[in-house]
Structure 1
Amino acid sequence: MRFFEKIRSAREYVVFYIGLALLASVSLLWSIFALPMNIIFPIKFRKLIGRWVISMGFRLYLRTLSALGACHFDISALDTLSDELPMVIAPNHPSLLDAIMILSRMPRLACIMKAELVDNPFFGAGARLACYIRNDALRHMLHLAVEELRGGSHLLLFPEGTRSHPLPIGTIRGSIALIAKQAHVPIQTILITADSPFLGKGWPFFRKPAMPIHYRIEIGRRFDPPTDVRRTIVELETYFHSALTGNPLPPNVASAAADELE
């Protein structure tokens, strides 16, 4: 029995490092191609081709992980959103794979990214080609996000601004409600669940998880375009906590983040 357990463990290590190497190599290769395209092509074409390639590339990557037996992805529910009118896509954020899963199914998606990822040699040129938005200058970020929505794009914005901590949902930031209010678009919540804490907050990047990991994405409640930013933040945080745990969030806890806006 121990022999077979060691064989299984060794196979999982091989699959794990193949998955990491594949993501890094494909991302770097696309960045090499994307770099000159950022200079040569007009912004409308860059945005179209950049987002489509990222979406198709991530879809192929997830299929490869499934074929290797590393993960199982139940994320087809996202397909129902692809052709809808502009909205803010607001998921909880349990792991680093969340954006990859969502982008793989929504090729029209604009994305707000951490500035260090936009500057990263593996992802930066591709992110710039897709006209993804840096999060380091708040006013400029808000302006670009609103312009994307008014231009017909969906916008991916993790309402916590980082991976969920503590689980199941951390503090909701006010920027999501401000953007939706200024663009006058709804906020569509997305519920992501997994049976492993792999690549969650505090998980070492090179630590192998038990496999396979099962991921599931469900379409959550859609909130009307906000009129009251503070109230929307409270409602979002309360909803996420209730939907992910089955228990309501105490009002004094739900209002804590919103109080920061006052």
Structure 2
Amino acid sequence: MVLEPQMTTVSSRLNRLWRIFATGFCFSLFGLGGLLLSLIWFNILLVCVRNPSRRRRIARRSISQSFRFFLWVTKVMGVLDYRFHGEAILRQEKGCLVIANHPSLLDYVMLASVMPETDCMVKAALLHNPFMSGVIRSADYLINSQADSLLPACQQRLAKGDTILIFPEGTRTRYGEPMTLQRGAANIAVRCASDVRIVTIGCSERMLDKQSKWYDVPPVKPVFDVTVGDRLAITDYYDANLQEPALAARQLNRLFLSQLQQSHPET
């Protein structure tokens, strides 16, 4: 009877050590995959597929499939688990903004894995990341520093039926701090007359957040829950004949905040 708690403790420690090793392996796999896509596959596409739209579509689908494989590996190796509530909705979404909270480094990976042709708003700094720059350029993602061309580009892509993924916090959530949103997503929704789909991401444990290192593995395996909300029709929240765009964007931003706070970690 005395040995049972000790054996449980040893088992827990061994499990955590395994997950630290497995997490390091998965990070290496992710980095290697990004380099191989950038150096080999995307260059093959550049040579063999002359049509830019078709090349971009193939690149985005390749990224999505790669992310699905990566997440499958993390699940099989026991690094984490994840559940989607409304995956089919995201997979078929067209012509709207998808906004989500950002508790973990894996949020984009999870959402892009089930959105095979999604566009994404990314930080300009990622263009200097050797593991991500080729991916970003080949997928023709929107760069948030291109202020003059950003809004027209969003309008053009949404009109063509593209879906644009945005994390309005701008960076990963900080535990124990109030959630704040940048107003860019709300401004795009208002000025491009775009509907919005809100997605909330929750995690049972802290993992890969803004204040953690990759090796800060939680005591137990984390479980991510991705919940797809209703599609918000912009016409329900903005009338160009009655409201100023800036005021409507502020009001819409408050709505986004109230919905995304449902999954905000307080501790």
TM-score bracket for this pair, using the shorter chain length:
0.7 to 0.9
Could you tell me whether the CA contact under 8 Å between 1:171 and 1:237 is conserved in 2?
yes
- The 1:207–1:128 alpha-carbon spacing in structure 2 relative to 1, beyond 3 Å, is same
Q: Can you list the C-alpha shifts for 1:26-76, whole angstroms capped at 9, x where unaligned?
A: 111111125535753332122111100000000011011111111111025
Distance in structure 2 (CA, Å) of the matches to 1:160 and 1:122: 23
Alpha-carbon spacing, 1:152–1:167, altered in 2? closer, same or farther (3 Å): farther
1:200 equivalent in alignment to 2:220:
no
Shift, 1:114, TM fit? 1.2
Q: Which residue of structure 1 lines up, in the alignment, with residue 34 of structure 2?
A: 27
Amino acid at match of 1:244: S
Deviations 1:207-244 (A, max 9, x none): 33334210011112432215221211122112322x33
CA contact (8 A) 1:34 1:126 kept: no
1:92 counterpart residue number? 101
- Residue 256 of structure 2 aligns with which residue? 236
The answer to whether 1:124 aligns with 2:144 is no
CA contact (8 A) 2:67 2:110 kept: yes
SS at match of 1:190: strand
Residue 62 (1) aligns with residue 77 (2): no
Distance 1:12 1:82, change over 3 A: closer
Residues in 2 aligned to 1:164 and 1:6: alpha-carbon distance in whole angstroms = 28
Give 3-state SS (helix, strand or coil) of 2:170's partner. Answer: coil
* CA apart distance, 1:93: 0.8
3-state SS of paired residue (1:75): strand
Q: Work out which of the residue numbers 192, 195, 219 in structure 2 matches 1:183.
A: 192
Instruction: Check whether the contact 1:38–1:128 (CA below 8 A) recurs between aligned residues.
Output: no
Distance 2:62 2:46 in 1: 17
State the TM-score, normalizing by the size of structure 2.
0.84
Residue 153 of structure 2 corresponds to residue 150 of structure 1? no
1:18 aligns with 2:37: no
For the pair 1:107 / 2:116, whether they are aligned, the reply is yes
Query: For residues 53 and 176 of structure 2, what CA distance do their matches in structure 1 show?
Result: 39
CA distance in 2, matches of 1:6, 1:244: 29
Kept in 1, the 8 Å contact 2:85–2:228? The answer is no
Q: Which amino acid aligns with 2:31?
A: A
TM-score normalised according to structure 1 size? 0.85
Note closer, same or farther for the CA distance 1:85–1:201 as it changes in structure 2 (3 Å cut): same
Give the C-alpha shift of residue 169 in structure 1.
6.2
- Give the secondary-structure state (helix, strand or coil) at the position aligned to 1:82: helix
* 1:177–1:229 Cα contact (<8 Å) kept: yes
Cα contact 1:12–1:211 (8 A) shared by 2: no
Conserved 8 A contact 2:20-2:215: no
Kindly report structure 1 stretches of 4+ aligned residues shifted beyond 4 Å. Answer: 166-169
Which whole-Å CA distance do the structure 1 matches of 2:207 and 2:13 have between them? Answer: 21
In structure 2, list runs of 5 or more residues that go unmatched: 1-6, 239-247
C-alpha change, 1:233 and 1:6, in structure 2 (3 Å) is closer
State the superposition RMSD in angstroms. 2.3
Percent of aligned pairs sharing the same letter: 24
Q: Measure the CA separation in 2 of the matches of 1:83 and 1:23.
A: 26
Amino acid at match of 1:148: R
Secondary structure in structure 1 of the residue aligned to 2:185 = helix
Considering only CA atoms, is the larger Rg found in Structure 1 or Structure 2? Answer: 2
